[in-house]
Every structure is written in structure tokens, then in C-alpha cells.
Amino acid sequence: MDLSLPFRDPALCRSLLDALSRELDAFGRPVRFMEVCGTHTVSIFQSGLRPLLPANLTHLSGPGCPVCVTHDSEIAAILEAAGRPGVIVAAFGDLLRVPGPDGRTLRSVLAEGARVQVVYSPLDAVKLAASCPGETVVFPAVGFETTAPAIAGALLTARRQGVRNFCILPCCKLVPPALRALLEAPDESVPDRQERIDAFLLPGHVAVVLGLAPFRFVAEEFGRPAVVGGFQPADILSALCLMVRMLREGRPAVGNTYVRAVSEEGSPAARQVMDAVFRPADAFWRGLGRIPQSGLVLRGEWADFDGFRCLGVERKETKPVPGCRCGDILRGRLTPDRCPLFGTVCTPQNPTGPCMVSTEGSCAAWYRYGGR
Amino acid sequence: MKILLDSGSGGRASHRLISDVFVRHFDNPALRRMDDAAVLALDGPLAMSTDGYTVTPLFFPGGSIGTLAVHGTVNDVAMMGARPRFLSCAFILEEGLDSGILERVVSDMAEAARRAGVDIVTGDTKVVPRGACDKLFITTTGVGRVFADPAPSGHSARPGDVILVSGAVGDHGLTVMVQRDGLSFSTDVRSDSAPLADMVEDIVRSAGEVHVLRDPTRGGLATTLNEIAEQSGVACVLEEAAIPVHDSVRAGCDLLGLDPLYLANEGKLICMVPEDRAEAALAAMSRSSYGREAALVGRIEAAERPRVELCTFMGGSRLLSMLEGAPLPRIC
């Protein structure tokens, strides 16, 4: 039986939509919300929720797709590793189409003779290494707090089993520092509150690991409501209702409507594994640039698994793509259709910017599902 | 035993392979003559189609490359309102292939051809050096007489038509992906590989007027409907809640971030008929053992720009665009 079925119930969704409209009318002014999770982005489009949202609610997609925000220089390093003799790159499927600064992708270097294998879990990459003792298996560690514990777990396994021909390229990103960067960004270009984001829909999967505490600053320091939501339409709608109610009552807080999966304290076990292997460091985000303490690098005692070190691969500086407005889109200052490259120069077949590269990117979703 | 380069040389080794494997399994009068070409008797307008088959793994729950090589081509011919009669088949074999694997594939093809009512009347075998192909590739060509008048075509969808599908979508695509990548979930998904010629004949005879018949193979229901929308210059408007999808396929897709509407089918068809013929066409589908879950899933509307629109279960709508490339599982 499909356990998510009740959360897609049409009657329930309609009554939640009515409740959302009533809350918004009671609040009395239009609001701008942002989600920071690619799964939310896709769910809102895929369920057809987007055109049903009340006209006085603008819903934006922030930097929530881990593949999209993987920096050009990191993709270039992954491609460089793939070109090394004796290397097999074991990667998540959606990384295969992401273009590096020269337009090449893992898929295109595959055609040039590189060895690239799609895996569904970092543990599969360790298994692959164990079965190919003569090769070096490199796993590009891309993702948020959702995937980082699994990657850390794979390293623990590799060490325990004595698998030495396995390494990762650490490119994981952390969500709360990116949220802070969005909130702290100097908005000279947007002097009035029209462009301000009133509240955040927090990523359910990330919160499963982190719990609520790392998000409290959104309400406490910046006075914006932030609510963890699940991924079915009823989950999303109930989170949006709570966000408007907090605004209306003037009591911004961090809330949780995804109680069937997210607890207040998150998963200490997952965090413990992650902390044992990784430590936070400054990181570069595609479209957003450098964000302090927003990435994960390997701790010193795990350096022998660091692909940058083992293979001597470097992150080289790259230039931003001229004309691409993904930075503004990720900050919620622009909708995808307002970017001059959208749908003409930049398409899912030939993506220019980060938001178009993965199916969970906001531009790709907008393009595919006919956003409005 | 392994297949050697000699087996494709044209000499005695080739002959042994042909008589021991191919003729033995495919046996029919035209093939038995072993002439340079098969001589066939067919009259009237003919439909002809060709397709190459490469799939990893070669065998999967519900079928194999052998069943696909027969069903795929037979179904393409049938979609023109034709009765497929004859097939040719060409094999590219990789040196070192286990002959037992070839035997299994050929036996699957022979069984599939028998069920589909077609004879495999001519063929060819080449063996290429190890590494030059992946185990084995098959190309089949089929011909059959067109009995529908006018013949259904992707150009013939009209506003007012209804869109029918002959059963649940996405089974084949997910099965192959799960098998290929050794995923441990959704063990109960099976390919729907099946011949549809009998069902097509029943649909055409029962409904009388059939505008479009297509089998939504690669790219799935959504991509095939986009092709039809463009060919006919119409809008296809689907009801999400009406589209049959097996629970196991839906769950597998949720996990991998895939959409069943974009996954391949190998034993399903899309049928567009005037609304007053829908009941007869659906009844014909349901009479076939491959069409028990047939359903009316949408309508054709007039449109300035061709499009495929999905009305979601909660009353919203979204566009279904064409598939960009092979579906890839996502990260989290």
C-alpha cells in the first residue's frame, strides 16, 4: 500500500487550499515564499499545485538542488579525474548531464573513453572498488546533509574492509549556511519589501537529519517564519498555511508540519557519522559564489580518501557564464522565464546555467512543466 | 561452447550454426529452402517496419532481447492496422558469446513468433571480435498486409477523439533499469513484452473507425503523445487519475525520481477513436489477455500550438514535454 496516498487526497488538498486563501486574505497583503529543496520544486510543479496557489502568494525556488549548486570548478575537477588512466568514476545518475566550464559532461567524456558508472548509493561505489582491485574508484561526493551521512558511512565501511582503491571528491554542501547567506545578502537592488522573501519552506529530507535547531536563526535573527514540510501536496499546503498564519499573527518561528518523518532533534546518529568524517569549510556554490562554512571537507584522519589529494586534482578558478541569471533566480529575485537565456540559449538539452542542469533545478522544472 | 569468429565466416562453421540453431528453432518452409531470399505471397497495401535491439541485461523478468526483437517489430507493423506475417532477422554476435545464451534467445524468438503468428523467413549472422559489440544485437524487419481502411496514423488525431491505453504504463522501463543496476527493491516488476496484433485486429473490427494506433515504447506515453500532438496539430489532455500505473512501478519511480509516463512499454498501445467508438474499442482491448487494464485516459482538443497537458489528481494542470534523453535516477 502506498503510504503517501492520503497526503495526495484531492478533497484534503482543496480544503487546505481554501484555508490558505482565507489565511492570506486575513493577512491582507501579497506574500513571497521560497523553498530550498529540489524535491519540493518538482512536487509543486508535478502535482499541478502551482497554478492552483492563490494569486497573492508568490512561490519561489531557491538553491535546493544539490546537483545544480555544485560549482563549475568542482565539475571540472570530476571530469579531470575521469580522464585519468586507471580511474573509474562512480556517480549519481543526475550528475552525468551537468556541464563543466568547457561544456563537457560525464556523459560526453564517457564517449571519449572515460569510465563512468552510475551508482545508486555511495556503498555501491565501495563495492565496485572492492571488485576492481586494479583500478581507482572515485565517487564525487555531491549533495546536502541528506547524502553526506551515507557518504560518511561508505568511508567507514571502506576503511573497515580495507578497500584502499576508493576515494571521494568532497563537494557536499550545507543548507543552513546558504539560507543565512540569502538572508544576509545586501539588497541594494531591492530597496523595498516587494522583493523580500517573507518566509521559507524548509527541506524535509535535510531536517530529518538536522532537526529544527539549525534553522532557528531564520526566525530569531531575521524574523521570518520557516516551516519544515513534507513532499506530497497536502504536506506542502499545510506548511504554507502555517507560514501565513505566523506572518498574520506576527509570531515568526520555526515550525514542523512533516512530523511523520522529522523530529525536533533530527537524527543524532546520522550527524555523528557525518561529523566523524567531515568538517565544515567555506565552499563555492554555482550561481551564489563563496559561502562561509557551507561545505564539507574530510577531516585530517580521512585524508587518504580525499580524491583531490590522492589524484592531485585541483579546483581551478572558472568564469561566470555571461548573461546567465541563475544567481538572481536562486536568490528569488527573478523567475526563470525572465532570464534572457531561458528557453532560447539555455534549455534542458543544452543547459547554460545551474538551474537548468538537473531535473530538480528551478529553470528545468519551469521549462518542463510549463511554469506560469 | 563459445561462438567463434569462424561461426560467421560463411563456411562450414556458419552452416552448422544456422542449421543447428536458427533453422531448428525458426523452422518454416521458406527458411528451410535456404535460398538467397525468401519468396513470399502477399497482396494489397503492405506495412513494413525495421528495428534494432540492444538491451542489458539480455534476459529480464517478463521477457528477453529475443521476445523484444519479435514483439517490437510485430507491434510496429500492427499499429498501421496491418496483420504482420513475416519477419527477417539479423544477428551481430560477439566473439566468445556462450552458445547456450544464443540458443535461449533464439528459442525465445521462435516462441514469440509462434504466438504472434509470424514466420521468420530469412536471416543473417555476423560475428565480430570480442569488445566490438555487447554480447549480441538483433535487427528484425517485419511486413504485413494493411486491413484497416483508412489506415490509422499519427497524423489522424482529431478534436473530439478520446485517448485510450491498453494497460498500465512503465513496467518494461522500470524492470530493465532495476535489473541492469542490480537494485534490490521492486522485485515484483515485470516487463510487459507482448504481441498486440490480435488486439489491434479486434479493435479495428469492433470500433470501425480508428484514427491513431501507436505503441509507446522508448520515451513512454508522454513522449509518444507529444509526437502525435505535433503530427496532428492538436492538444492531448490527460487525466492523471485515469492513467493505469502498477503500485510497484509507482513506488519504484518515487524512489528513483522517475516518471512512469516517460518509461518504455513493450506490450501496450495508445488508441484514439471518436468518443462514440470508445466503448467498443475498450471492450476489444479488454478481451485480449494483454489489455485487461485498458482505460480511457484523456481527450483530443483543438489547439493553436500542439501540446500534451496533464490534469493532475488534485485539479491542477501541467505540461508533459518530450523526454530529453535517457531517464537518469536522481541523487536524493
User: What was the ipTM of the complex prediction?
Assistant: 0.76
**Residue B309 Cα, gap to closest chain A Cα (Å):** 9
Chain A residues inside the 8 Å CB shell of B254:
4
Shared domain for A197 and A101, answered yes or no, is no
Report yes or no on A209 lying in a domain: yes
Same domain, B202 and B260: yes
Query: Residues A101, A206: one domain?
Result: no
Q: Do B314 and A92 touch (CB under 8 A)?
A: no
Residue B36 has pLDDT above 70, yes or no: yes
End residue of a domain, out of B122, B146, B170 = B146
Which of A2, A45, A146 lies nearest to residue B318, judging by beta carbons? A45
Residue A150 lies inside a defined structural domain of this protein: yes
Q: What is the CATH number of the domain that holds A209?
A: 3.40.50.11750
Contact criterion met (CB < 8 Å) for A147 and B331: yes
- What's the distance, Cα to Cα, between the start and end of chain B in Å? 45
Across the interface, of A2, A48, A370, the residue whose CB is closest to B247 is A2
Residues of chain B neighbouring A14 (CB-CB closer than 8 A):
314-315
What pLDDT score does B1 carry?
A: 84
Q: Are residues A283 and A182 in the same domain?
A: no
Q: Do B173 and B77 lie in a common domain?
A: no
Q: Which of A237, A256, A275 is the last residue of a domain?
A: A256
Residue A22 shares a structural domain with residue A108: no
Q: Are residues A186 and A150 in the same domain?
A: no
Task: Mark whether B175 and B287 lie in a shared domain.
Answer: yes
| Mean pLDDT to the nearest integer, B218-230 | 96
* Residue B331 lies inside a defined structural domain of this protein: no
Calculate the average pLDDT of chain A: 91
- Are B268 and B190 contained in the same domain? yes
Across the interface, whether the CB atoms of B315 and A49 are under 8 A apart is answered no
Q: Is residue A118 assigned to a domain? A: yes
Please name the member of B310, B315, B328 whose beta carbon is closest to the beta carbon of A96. B328
Pick B250 or A272 by higher pLDDT.
A272
Within a domain: residue B152? no
Nearest residue of B to residue A11 by CA position? B314
pTM for this model (two decimals): 0.85
Q: Is residue A215 part of a domain?
A: yes
CB contact under 8 A, B314 and A146: no
**DSSP-assigned beta bridge partners for residue B237:** B299, B309
**Co-location of A170 and A270 in the same domain:** yes
The CB density around residue B10, as the number of other CB atoms within 10 Å, is 10
b (16+ CB within 10 A) / e for B193-217: bbbbbbbbbbbbebbebbbbbbbbb
- Collect all residues of chain A within an 8 Å Cβ-Cβ radius of residue B314: 8, 10, 13-14, 47-49, 52, 233
| Inter-chain residue contact A348 with B332, CB threshold 8 Å | no
All cell numbers assigned to A185: 545578502
Residues A167 and A182 in one domain: no
Task: Please tell me the total count of domains within chain A.
Answer: 3
User: A126 to chain B, minimum CA–CA distance in Å?
Assistant: 15
* A108 lies in the same domain as A247: no
Looking at the structure, do residues A37 and A184 belong to the same domain, yes or no? yes
User: For residue A316, is it within any domain?
Assistant: no
Three-point CA angle B263, B266, B270, nearest 5°: 80
Task: Kindly state whether residues B137 and B177 are assigned to the same domain.
Answer: no
3-state DSSP assignment of residue A350:
strand
Total CB pairs under 8 A between chain A and B = 96
pLDDT digits 0-9 by tens, B68-118: 999 999 999 999 999 999 999 999 999 999 999 999 999 999 999 999 999
Which of B183, B314, B318 is opposite residue A120, by nearest beta carbon? B183
Gap from A10 CA to chain B (nearest CA, Å): 5
Interchain pair A48, B251: CB under 8 A: no
Least trusted range by pLDDT, from A87-96, A186-195, B125-134, B224-233: A186-195
How does pLDDT run across A134-176, given as a tens digit for each residue?
A: 999 999 999 999 999 999 999 999 999 999 999 999 999 999 9
Shortest CA gap B184–chain A (Å): 11
* Dihedral (CA of A114, A120, A125, A128) sign: negative
Q: Higher model confidence: residue B177 or residue B73?
A: B73
pLDDT for residue B186: 54
Beta bridge partners, B98, equal: B2
Mean pLDDT value of segment A202-211: 96
Print the domain residue range for B18: 5-146
Residue B36 lies in a domain: yes
A208-265 residue pLDDT tens: 999 999 999 999 999 999 999 999 999 999 999 999 999 999 999 999 999 999 999 9
> What is the number of structural domains in chain B?
2
Q: Does the distance separating the beta carbons of A93 and B329 come in below 8 Å?
A: yes
A93–B330: do the CB atoms touch at under 8 Å? Answer: yes
Regarding whether A186 and A127 lie in a shared domain, the answer is no
Which residues of B touch chain A, with CB atoms under 8 Å apart?
181, 183, 240, 247, 250-251, 254, 256-257, 259, 310-319, 321, 324-325, 328-332
In chain B, the residue whose alpha carbon lies closest to the alpha carbon of A234 is B314
Residues B202 and B313 in one domain: yes
DSSP, res A321: P
What is the rounded average pLDDT of the residues B150-164?
A: 97
Predicted pLDDT at B187: 65
Distance between A51 CA and the closest CA of chain B, angstroms: 6
Query: What pLDDT is stored for residue B184 in this prediction?
Result: 63
Task: Write down which residue in B146, B177, B202 finishes a domain.
Answer: B146
Neighbours of B221 (CB within 10 A): 29
Are residues B108 and B189 both part of a single domain? Answer: no
- Please say if the pLDDT value at position A368 is more than 90: no
Average pLDDT over residues B215-241: 96
CB A174 within 8 A of CB A294: yes
pLDDT bucket at A23, cuts 50 / 70 / 90: very high
- Residue B305, domain member (yes or no): yes
* Structure confidence by residue, pLDDT tens digits, B122-152: 999 999 999 999 999 999 999 999 999 999 9
Cβ contact A52–B250 (<8 Å): no
Tell me if A147 and B332 make a contact (CB, 8 A cut-off). yes
Between chains, do A370 and B319 touch, taking CB under 8 Å as contact?
A: yes
What domain range includes position A77? 67-174+266-310
Residue A317 resides in a domain: no
Establish if B326 belongs to a structural domain.
no
Tell me if B240 is assigned to some domain. Answer: yes
SS (H, E, C) chain B: CECCHHHHCCCHHHHHHHHHHHHHHHCCHHHHCCCCCCCCCCCCCEEEEEEEECCCCCEECCEEHHHHHHHHHHHHHHCCCEEEEEEEEEEEEECCCEHHHHHHHHHHHHHHHHHHCCEEEEEEEEEECCCCCCCEEEEEEEEEEECCCCCCCCCCCCCCEEEEECCCCCHHHHHHHHHHCCCCCCCCCCCCCCCCHHHHHHHHHHHCCCCEEECCCCCHHHHHHHHHHHHHCEEEEEEHHHCCCCHHHHHHHHHHCCCHHHCCCCCCCEEEEEHHHHHHHHHHHHHCCCCCCCEEEEEEEECCCCEEEEECCCCCEEECCCCCCCCCCCCC
Would A12 be classed as within a structural domain?
yes
Contact B324 A349 (CB under 8 A): yes
Same domain, B80 and B202: no
Q: Which chain B residue has the Cα nearest residue A140?
A: B331
| Confidence label for B325 from pLDDT (cuts 50, 70 and 90) | low
**Chain B: residue whose CA lies nearest to A172:** B331
pLDDT above 70 as % of chain A: 96
Nearest CB among B314, B319, B325 relative to A47 is that of: B314
pLDDT band at A187 (very low <50, low <70, confident <90, very high): low
pLDDT band at A191 (very low <50, low <70, confident <90, very high): very low
Within-domain flag for B156: no
Report if residue A284 sits inside a domain. Answer: yes
Q: Verify that B29 and B127 share a domain, yes or no.
A: yes
Q: Are residues A244 and A275 in the same domain?
A: no
CATH of the domain at A287: 3.40.50.11740
Classify residue B239: in a domain, yes or no. yes
Q: Are residues B215 and B294 in the same domain?
A: yes
The answer, yes or no, to whether residue A362 has pLDDT greater than 50, is yes
User: Do A132 and A278 share a domain, yes or no?
Assistant: yes
- In this complex, do A49 and B314 lie within 8 Å of one another by their Cβ atoms? yes
On whether both B136 and B179 belong to a single domain, the answer is no
In the structure, what pLDDT confidence band is assigned to residue A351 with cuts at 50, 70 and 90?
Answer: confident
Is B315 in contact with A144 (Cβ distance < 8 A)? Answer: no
Indicate which CATH number applies to the domain containing B215. Answer: 3.90.650.10
Nearest alpha-carbon partner for A163 in A283, A304, A30 = A304
Q: Are residues B211 and B72 in the same domain?
A: no
